[in-house]
Amino acid sequence: MRNLAFSVLISVVSINAWALVPPDYREPPSDLTAEIEAGFQLNTGNTESSSFNSRVKLVYDGEASKQEATVKAYFASDSEKTTAEKYDLQLQSNYKLKEGYIFGRGDFTWDEFGSYTRLSTVSSGYGFDVVNNSKTNLSLEVGPGYRYSMPNQTDDDPSPRSTRELILRAATKLEHKVHEYTTINADLTAESGKDNNTLTLDLNYKNLVFQDWAFKIGVNVKYTEVVPEGSEQVDTITSFNLLYTFQ
């Protein structure tokens, strides 16, 4: 009789627990998302080598605003010396409106082996979603900015002078879910100024491997109209990374 009562009690507790926590229960989505990735990289252009790269991205998406911060690091060396060392910092803050958003953005690059060793761009403007549904998000941004550029040293110009100029920045951002496990991202950014113009395409393919782990293939192509003598106008970075997402 005691065993029967115990069995009934266990059954009741199990039924109540099942009702409180259904088997398909998931934690509600967090406003904060973090991505960490690292992997192998191939460089062509001003730097040609095999190398290691890493990236950390933090996104806080609240009701009234959205904050993004991204840090990228690229490093390469051969048997004799370091051949590539580059660091990128991208910061953006969006203030949401009923239609679209107002943004402030900062892009900072340190590249010891690039055509420009220091690049800093600060911009602001207006952005809005052209398409926004469960599978596709396409947004456009446009606004004025200010750019600082320091060219790399060359034999003809061992002491280059920096340039400072007002620019117009326009960007298109696309995120498309092919299906539940596969996502394609494409960002196209154009910066136009009196002294120089640039066009950057950042394209990546992400496929979920296991839970929060994903395999990511990325291609970053940047075209710079005016570069120091002996430098390439096009820089291409191809990366093969393993990515982990915290939500």
Whether the pLDDT of residue 79 is over 80: the answer is: no
Distance CA 124, CA 91 (A): 12
b/e for 119-143, b at 16 or more Cβ within 10 A? bbbbbbbebeeeeeeeeebebebeb
pLDDT 10s digits, 168-195:
999 999 999 998 899 999 999 999 999 9
Distance CA 200, CA 223 (A): 6
Share of the chain above pLDDT 70, in %: 84
Domains of the chain, by residue range, sit at: 29-246
Residue 168 vs residue 14, higher pLDDT: 168
The predicted structure's pLDDT at residue 2: 47
pLDDT (mean) for 41-69 = 85
Residue 82 vs residue 141, higher pLDDT: 141
The mean pLDDT value of the chain amounts to 87
CA atoms within 13 A on the CB side of 229: 6
**What is the value of pTM for the model shown?**
0.82
The predicted structure's pLDDT at residue 46: 76
Q: Which stretch of DSSP H or E encloses residue 118?
A: strand 116-132
pLDDT (mean) for 141-162 = 89
b/e for 94-105, b at 16 or more Cβ within 10 A? beeeeeebebeb
pLDDT 10s digits, 199-226:
999 999 999 998 889 999 999 999 999 9
Write out the CATH class of domain 29-246: mainly beta
